């Protein structure tokens, strides 16, 4: 049997791992990696990695069940892919497999059809290898860069105190007590106007909440929407073309001037999830198109620039879903000069949602769109997760959270900000307080020192830099 370059022979009783991948596969297809873990211990999880310029990057991961694992991943661009499997247990990489190469592009691999999710190869026990020693390549750091820091925080609802943050900061106190750490980001939202009565009342720049957040050492994260309340997907006065042609400039300019007067850095997520059809600024509703979205974004950005509101850090944030209609994101991108950070939102709804959906891991939800943005649309921009959460229905929410934290540094190294949607919404059990185990899993995740606490009360740099 072949061993990894520079590795020693397996020590008797040492954990070993095999990896089987197809020798050839079609470009832009999904393939299955499978294998087994042998040794004196069970459990843990396996990550399949690919060789990149300065090390290894994640492709996907899965728990070990009965000493076996199966991982489906999408092939990245290129002609060949060098892969390996790493077994983790207790947060530590234990052993690594022999590297395997997939040739990309062949229409029909030798010996049969392309190996896809429906045609996985069986594990081959002859490919086991032990943990490298001496001059071998250790698997202790599976991704580059290994020590990325991450801003983190939450959009905190009223389920604990009866009042929502940041309008009542006691909600932040309770959230911090639950997870055992103070967040560096606090998210909330504001529309343009309240039209529940006549005349409409415009929402001003939120000076007091911004001050309260900054006083806590956190960074304000404002999701600002070009709509009126009550919200509807049909709002003729708030079509994106109206934003782009200057019809709302008086309000936008006043808001931007107030932001400039406040003067401190903040994240501004304008008209998020624009690739969906559930908000009045979404493409396909209210007379909107992707081109109109880009024009509106650029116009609002220009107004902020004209009044000197350069303390706003612009966050472009589509929704991530496997459906093809939501994956074509490039047409919504305003351009590098108009965007400071990219962003993704994604939720594991589970089967309780209507219409019914499936249980989806963090990696399944975010993987394809993450690669599309970081490899093609905006490869030079840092990324954050603007909203994410999981239901308790259909699987283990604590395990979902644990796997998300495991995947972030390995499969998603460009994500340098994470915000949990800790709020009851759409009849779903998103808050961490849905179970003590979910709260504990999240607390364990953010306890890692790479997740930065509230030390940003003196932050002055704009745009907000990578942590």
Does residue 396 carry a pLDDT above 90?
Answer: yes
Residue 12 has a pLDDT of 46
Tell me if 434 sits within 8 A of 395, measured CB to CB. no
| Residues facing residue 24 across a β-bridge | 103
Give CA–CA dist 12/5, Å, rounded: 20
The span from the first CA to the last CA of the chain, in angstroms, equals 45
The strand order across the sheet containing 129-130 reads 68-74, 30-38, 16-17, 129-130
Q: What is the DSSP letter of 126?
A: G
Give CA–CA dist 17/237, Å, rounded: 60
pLDDT band at 71 (very low <50, low <70, confident <90, very high): confident
Comparing CA positions, the residue from 284, 271, 276 lying closest to residue 369 is 276
Burial-class residue 235 by CB neighbours within 10 Å (0-12, 13-18, 19+). buried
Give CA–CA dist 28/104, Å, rounded: 9
| 150-452 maps to CATH 3.30.420.40 | no
- For helices 397-411 and 362-372, give the axis angle rounded to 10 degrees: 30
CATH topology identical between 16-130 and 150-452? no
Angle of CA points 447, 64, 443, to nearest 5°: 15
Instruction: Identify the three-state secondary structure at position 375.
Output: helix
Tell me if 383 sits within 8 A of 344, measured CB to CB. yes
pLDDT in tens, 172-192: 999 999 999 999 999 999 999
Give CA–CA dist 239/318, Å, rounded: 18
pLDDT band at 302 (very low <50, low <70, confident <90, very high): very high
Residue 114 has a pLDDT of 31
Residue 10 has a pLDDT of 38
Q: What is the pTM of this model?
A: 0.71
Mean pLDDT across the stretch 204-213?
97
Tell me if 41 sits within 8 A of 17, measured CB to CB. no
Higher per-residue pLDDT: 52 or 7: 52
Boundaries of every domain in the chain:
16-130, 150-452
| Residues facing residue 425 across a β-bridge | 428
Residue 132 has a pLDDT of 32
Comparing CA positions, the residue from 159, 221, 151, 210 lying closest to residue 181 is 151
Contacts of 250 (CB under 8 A, 6+ apart): none
Domain spanning 16-130: CATH superfamily: SOR catalytic domain (2.60.40.730)
Comparing CA positions, the residue from 64, 62, 57, 116 lying closest to residue 81 is 57
Comparing CA positions, the residue from 140, 117, 114, 135 lying closest to residue 31 is 117
């Amino acid at each position: 049997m072949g061993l990894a370059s520079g590795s020693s022979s397996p020590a008797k009783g040492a954990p070993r791992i095999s990896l089987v991948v197809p020798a050839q596969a079609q470009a832009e297809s999904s393939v299955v990696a499978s294998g087994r873990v042998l040794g004196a211990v069970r459990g843990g999880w396996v990550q399949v990695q690919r060789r990149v310029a300065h090390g290894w990057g994640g492709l996907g991961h899965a728990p070990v069940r009965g000493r076996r694992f199966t991982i489906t991943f999408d092939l990245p661009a290129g002609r060949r892919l060098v892969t390996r499997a790493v077994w983790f247990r207790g947060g530590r990489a234990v052993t690594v497999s022999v590297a395997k190469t997939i040739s990309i592009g062949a229409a029909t691999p030798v010996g049969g059809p392309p190996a896809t999710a429906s045609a996985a190869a069986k594990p081959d026990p002859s490919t086991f290898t032990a943990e490298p020693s001496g001059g071998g390549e250790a698997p202790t750091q599976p991704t580059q860069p290994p020590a990325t820091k991450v801003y983190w925080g939450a959009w905190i609802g009223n389920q604990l105190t009866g009042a929502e943050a940041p309008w009542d900061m006691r909600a932040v106190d309770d959230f911090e007590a639950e997870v055992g750490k103070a967040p560096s980001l606090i998210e909330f939202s504001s529309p343009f106007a309240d039209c529940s009565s006549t005349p409409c009342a415009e929402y001003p720049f939120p000076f007091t909440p911004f001050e309260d957040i900054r006083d806590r050492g956190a960074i304000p994260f404002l999701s600002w929407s070009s709509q009126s309340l009550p919200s509807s997907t049909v709002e003729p006065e708030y079509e994106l073309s109206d934003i782009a042609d200057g019809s709302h400039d008086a309000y936008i300019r006043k808001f931007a001037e107030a932001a400039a007067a406040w003067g401190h850095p903040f994240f501004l997520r304008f008209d998020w999830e624009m690739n969906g059809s559930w908000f009045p600024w979404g493409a396909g509703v209210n007379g909107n198109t992707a081109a109109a979205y880009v024009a509106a974004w650029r116009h609002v950005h220009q107004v902020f620039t004209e009044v000197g509101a350069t303390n706003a850090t612009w966050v472009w944030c589509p929704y991530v879903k496997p459906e093809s209609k939501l994956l074509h994101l490039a047409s919504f991108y305003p351009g590098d000069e108009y965007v400071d950070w990219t962003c993704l939102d994604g939720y594991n709804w589970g089967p309780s949602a209507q219409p019914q959906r499936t249980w989806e891991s963090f990696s399944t939800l975010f993987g394809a769109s993450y690669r599309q943005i970081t490899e093609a649309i905006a490869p030079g921009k840092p990324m954050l997760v603007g909203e994410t959460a999981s239901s308790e229905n259909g699987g283990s929410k604590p395990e979902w959270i644990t796997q998300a934290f495991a995947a972030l540094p390995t499969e998603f190294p460009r994500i340098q900000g994470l915000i949990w949607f800790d709020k009851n919404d759409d009849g779903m059990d998103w808050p961490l307080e849905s179970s003590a185990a979910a709260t504990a899993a999240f607390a364990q995740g953010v306890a890692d020192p790479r997740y930065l606490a509230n030390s940003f009360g003196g932050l002055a740099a704009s745009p907000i830099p990578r942590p």
